[in-house]
Amino acid sequence: MGERSIDKASLEMINKAAQDGIETAWDRYEKQQPQCGFGLLGICCRNCNMGPCRIDPFGDEPQEGVCGATADTIAARNLLRMIAAGAAAHSDHGRDIVTTLYETASGETQGYQIKDEEKLRALAVEFGIPAEGRSKEEIARDLAREAMEEFGMVKGTLHFLNRAPEKRRQLWDKVGVKPRGIDREVVDVMHRTHMGVDTDYVNLTLQGVRAGLSDGWGGSMFATEFSDVLFGTPQPVKRQSNLGVLKAEDVNIVVHGHEPVLSDMIVQAAKEEELLAAAREKGAAGINVCGMCCTGNEILMRHGVPVAGNFLQQELAVVTGAVEAMVVDVQCIMPSLPTVAACYHTRVISTSPKARFPGAEHVPFSEQTAWDTARKIVKMAIDNFPRRKKELVRIPEEKMEYMAGFSVEAIVKALGGSLDPLLDAIKAGQIKGIAAIVGCNNPKIRHDYGHVALTRELIKNDVLVVQTGCAAIASAKAGLLLPEAAEEAGPGLGAVCKAVGIPPVLHMGSCVDISRILVTAAAIANALGVDMSELPAAGAAPEWMSEKAVSIGSYVIGSGIFTVLGTVPPVLGAKKFTELLTKGAQDVLGAAFAVETDPLKAAGLILEHIAAKRKGLGLES
Amino acid sequence: MKEVQVDVNRCVGCKSCEIACAVEHSRTKELFNAVFEEITPRRRVFVQAAGECSVPVSCRHCEQAFCIRVCPTGAMYRDEASQTVLHNDLRCIGCGFCELACPFGAVARSAGSKLVVKCDRCPDREIPACVGACPTKALLFLTPEETQRRKRSALAEQMCLPEEWRSEAGGQRSES
C-alpha cells in the first residue's frame, strides 16, 4: 500500500507511535492479514446456532447453510443487519437530541437553551404545531413530543419525507419502502433476518432501503434539525485543522465521538474564567478544546472549534503526548484508546451509559447536570496538565485553515437568499453537478487519499463537492475547504466560488448532517420539478468502514442518487444480490451502487454519471 | 526442501486455506475478482472434519507417487528441481486414474471438466498460499528436519522441570 497516510502530521505520529512502542490501527490491520475470505465476501452466517455456516464462493459444496439459506439470502441478511445497526446508531443519536430539546423546553436540563427560535418556528409549521402567540418552550415541547412519536410511530409516516419531491414519494409508495417509524424499521430488519423469516434477497433489500430511509429522512434529520434549534444553525466559520492545533503550552482537551450535547457544553465551560485561572495556576497558558471525528464536526460547524483530525487520527492525537483528556461519548471510538493513553499521561474519559471502555475513567453525563459535568471534566483535564511527560511530547507542525458551517440555510444565504444562482450555474454548465463525498477512514486505503484524490479530481472537472464527517476533515487538512481552493477548481466552478466567496468543497457537518445534503438535493429537484434521481448528482464513500455508512448508502440509493463505494462491501460472494445492488436497483429506485477502490476511476464514474444526467435534463454537457 | 506441514491441534476449520488456494489458482489472483471469473478457480486443499478435529488435506508430493505411476499419458510428473508432483493440463485426458490412486483424496477436478487439478505448492510464491492464509499456524512450511526439531523442542520444554524439582526427580545439577 505504500505509506499509510497522505497527511504529514499523521505520518510523523505513526513513526512516533512506533518509536514509543505503540500499536495503531494500521499495525493491528496488518496483524489481521489475511482477513477471512468468507467474511470479506459476506457469505458466512451466524444468525442461528445450527451454524456458523459458510457458502463455498467457488461453486463447490456447500452451497447452502444448514437451514437451506443460499449465498444471496445470507449476504442480504448480513448487509441488512449492518444497515439496521447503522440506522440505529444515527437514530438513537437523533433521539438523544430530541430528548434534550424536550427536557430543555421543560426546564429540566442545565445549561442548554433554544438558540435558533426561527428554525424552531419553521419546524413547528412543518409539523403542524401551533406557533402563534406561544413561547418557544411551549412550541419546542410539542415539537419534541411529535418527534418522539415518530420513533415509535403509530400514525402514517415520517413528516420529513414530505421534503422529498412528489415523484420520489410516489416511487416510495409504489415500491413499498416508505418508513413507518424510525425504530420500527430497525426492529423489522432484526425480525426478518432471524432464522426462518425472510429469505428472498429482493424483499430483504427493499426492507434495507426502508430502514435506511428511516435514518436519512428520520433519525439523522431529527439529529440535525433539532441540534440546530438547540445549539444554533451553523453559519460559515473559519478555524484550523490537523494535529498541529494541539498547543504545547495549553491544557488540551480532545472531544471525540458524535453527539454535540456534551461537547457543546465543554466548549462553553472551557471559556469560564474560573477554570482558565485554574489552568494558569497549573502552569498552562490556557485551555484548548479540539474536536475529533463527528463530535469535532458538530462543534466546528457551530463554534469554529479547531479539529485535531479524523477517525484514523484518534490514536495519533494521544501519541503527541500533549492531550490532557480525550473525552468520548458514542460511535467510532477505538477500544484501543485507553491502552494507547496508558503509555502517556492522557486521561480517557467516557461519558455515555451506552459506551464504557475498560481502562477509561467514567464520568456519567446527563442533560440534567450537563454544565456541572462539563466543568468537572475540564477540571480533570486541568489537574492532569502537570502530569504531562515532557520527554514524550511532540506536536506536529501541520495545521491548515478551513471554512466550514455550510448548513442549507448558510448556503442559501451565501447565494444571496435562494438556491437560484446555484441552479443557474448548473443549468449554464458552469457547475456540471454536485457530488457528496462522505464517510470514514479505513486502513484498507491510504488514509485521506480516497477522499482528497476524489475531491480534487471532481472540483477540477467543475463538480461542486459537498461533504460531511471524516471526509470533510480530510478536505480541511488538505486546504480544500478554503475559498482560495477555487484555484484548484475548473474554470466554471472556480468562477462561481470566487464570485460568491465560497470554497469549491462545502463542509456541511457531521455524518448525521448528510440529512442536510438530502434536503439540498430535494430542494434542487423541487425547484427543477424533477425527481432526485434525475439530478446531475452522485454520492461517494471512498474510505467507508462503519455500519452507519451502509445505512447512509442505502438511503442515498433509496433517495435516487448513484453512489460509489471505495472499499468493497461484504456482498460479492452472492452473485444475484450483488447484481441487484449494482444494476437491478437502478430499475427500481433510479439509482444503484458502484464499487471502485481507485478514487480517480471513481471520479470517472461520477463524471460519466453526471454527464448522462445532464443529457437527461436537456442540459449541455 | 520445505514441505507443507500440519499441526492438527491448531486447525479450527475456518477454511481460509481453501479460499486462499482457489484465489492463488485463479486468473486474477485477487479474491474480489476471482469469484467473478468465467472459469471457476478450484481449491487444491480440503479441510476435512473428523469428529471434533479438522485437518487440512492436500497433496503430499509423495516419493512413491502412485498418481504418477498410474497416469497413462505422463500428465502427472515429478519436477526434478522442486521435487514436487505436478500436473500438465495439456497432457491430461481426464481418465481419473490419479484420483483413484491417491491415498489422500488430494486430487480434484477442474470446474465443469474431467481434467484434474492438484496442489502445485504455489511455484510463484515463497510460502504456499494455504500456509500464508492460515490464521492459527496450523499449516506450516518447514523442512522435515525443522518439523521434527519443533516437535522435539516442544517435548523437551514439557520435560524440563523447574530447577528446585530437578534433584528430587533424579536429574543432575550441572554444578555437582
Report pLDDT digits (tens) over A231-244. Answer: 999 999 999 999 99
- CATH placement of domain A407-616: 3.40.50.2030
Are A58 and B16 a contacting pair at CB < 8 A?
A: no
Least confident span in A390-404, B85-99, B153-167: B153-167
What CATH number does residue B78 fall under? 3.30.70.20
User: Cell numbers at residue B57, please?
Assistant: 488435506
Domain that holds residue B94: 59-118
CATH value of A71-231 in 3.40.920.10, 3.40.50.720, 1.20.1270.30, 3.40.30.10: 1.20.1270.30
**Total structural domains within chain B:** 1
Q: Which residues of chain A have pLDDT under 70?
A: 1, 154
Distances from the Cα of A95 to the Cα of A219, A263, A528, A552, B130, angstroms? 7, 17, 33, 18, 48
Task: Tell me if B83 is assigned to some domain.
Answer: yes
Q: Residue B175 pLDDT > 60, yes or no? A: no
Report the pLDDT value the prediction gives residue B169, as an integer from 0 to 100. Answer: 62
By the CB < 8 Å criterion, does B21 face chain A?
Answer: no
By the CB < 8 Å criterion, does B23 face chain A?
Answer: yes
A37 contact residues in B (CB cutoff 8 A): 16, 19-20, 23, 31
Report the pLDDT value the prediction gives residue B65, as an integer from 0 to 100. Answer: 96
Rounded Cα–Cα distance for residues A484 and A503 (Å): 7
Picking from A41, A54, A60, the nearest residue to B35 by CB comes out as: A41
Q: Residue B172 pLDDT > 70, yes or no? A: no
User: Which of helix, strand or coil describes residue A42?
Assistant: coil
* B63, B83 Cβ separation under 8 angstroms: no
Rounded Cα–Cα distance for residues A385 and A393 (Å): 12
Task: Tell me if B96 is assigned to some domain.
Answer: yes
By the CB < 8 Å criterion, does B49 face chain A?
Answer: no
User: Domain limits of chain A?
Assistant: 71-231, 243-392, 407-616
Closest Cα of chain A to B90: distance in Å? Answer: 23
Are A58 and B34 a contacting pair at CB < 8 A?
A: yes
Are B43 and A60 a contacting pair at CB < 8 A?
A: yes
Q: Is the dihedral of CA A195, A196, A202, A207 positive or negative?
A: negative
Closest Cα of chain A to B124: distance in Å? Answer: 18
Residue B42: band (very low, low, confident or very high) from pLDDT cuts 50, 70, 90: very high
Report pLDDT digits (tens) over A282-327. Answer: 999 999 999 999 999 999 999 999 999 999 999 999 999 999 999 9
A568 contact residues in B (CB cutoff 8 A): 32
Q: Is the dihedral of CA A120, A123, A124, A125 positive or negative?
A: positive
Q: Residue B106 pLDDT > 90, yes or no? A: yes
Picking from B40, B43, B132, the nearest residue to A34 by CB comes out as: B132
Rounded Cα–Cα distance for residues A111 and A104 (Å): 9
Picking from B14, B23, B40, the nearest residue to A36 by CB comes out as: B14
Report the pLDDT value the prediction gives residue A1, as an integer from 0 to 100. Answer: 55
Whole-number mean pLDDT of chain B? 91
Report the pLDDT value the prediction gives residue B132, as an integer from 0 to 100. Answer: 95
Binding-site residues on chain A for chain B (CB distance < 8 A)? 34, 36-38, 40-41, 54, 56-60, 568, 572-573, 575
Q: Tell me what the mean pLDDT of segment B132-158 comes to.
A: 92
A58 contact residues in B (CB cutoff 8 A): 22, 34-35, 40-43, 111
Report the pLDDT value the prediction gives residue A34, as an integer from 0 to 100. Answer: 87
Residue B112: band (very low, low, confident or very high) from pLDDT cuts 50, 70, 90: confident
B15 contact residues in A (CB cutoff 8 A): 38, 54
Are both A71-231 and A243-392 of the same fold?
no
Nearest to A576 by CA among A208, A212, A204, A210: A204
Give contacts of B 82-101 with A, CB under 8 A. Answer: none
Q: What is the ipTM of this complex?
A: 0.77
Least confident span in A128-132, A501-505, B72-76, B160-164: B160-164
Distances from the Cα of A373 to the Cα of A97, A306, B129, angstroms? 18, 22, 54
Are A572 and B20 a contacting pair at CB < 8 A?
A: no
Task: Tell me if B65 is assigned to some domain.
Answer: yes
Are A57 and B16 a contacting pair at CB < 8 A?
A: no
Report the pLDDT value the prediction gives residue B176, as an integer from 0 to 100. Answer: 44
Report the pLDDT value the prediction gives residue B170, as an integer from 0 to 100. Answer: 59
Rounded Cα–Cα distance for residues B41 and B31 (Å): 10
Q: For the packed helices A370-384 and A260-269, what is the interaxial angle rounded to 10 degrees? A: 60
By the CB < 8 Å criterion, does B111 face chain A?
Answer: yes
Nearest to A571 by CA among B81, B4, B176, B31: B31
Report the pLDDT value the prediction gives residue B163, as an integer from 0 to 100. Answer: 78
Report the pLDDT value the prediction gives residue B121, as an integer from 0 to 100. Answer: 96
Task: Tell me if B147 is assigned to some domain.
Answer: no
Q: Which residue of A has its CA nearest to B32?
A: A572
By the CB < 8 Å criterion, does B32 face chain A?
Answer: yes
Q: Residue B168 pLDDT > 70, yes or no? A: no
Give contacts of B 129-148 with A, CB under 8 A. Answer: 132-133, 135
Task: Tell me if B95 is assigned to some domain.
Answer: yes
Picking from B16, B22, B32, the nearest residue to A58 by CB comes out as: B22
A575 contact residues in B (CB cutoff 8 A): 36
* A573, A55 Cβ separation under 8 angstroms: yes
Task: Tell me if B80 is assigned to some domain.
Answer: yes
Task: Tell me if B3 is assigned to some domain.
Answer: no
The CATH architecture of the domain made up of A243-392 is 3-Layer(aba) Sandwich (3.40)
Q: How many alpha carbons fall within 13 Å on the CB side of residue A32?
A: 13
| Beta-carbon contacts of residue A213 (< 8 Å; ≥ 6 apart) | A161, A172, A177, A178, A179, A185, A554, A555, A558, A559
Task: Tell me if B165 is assigned to some domain.
Answer: no
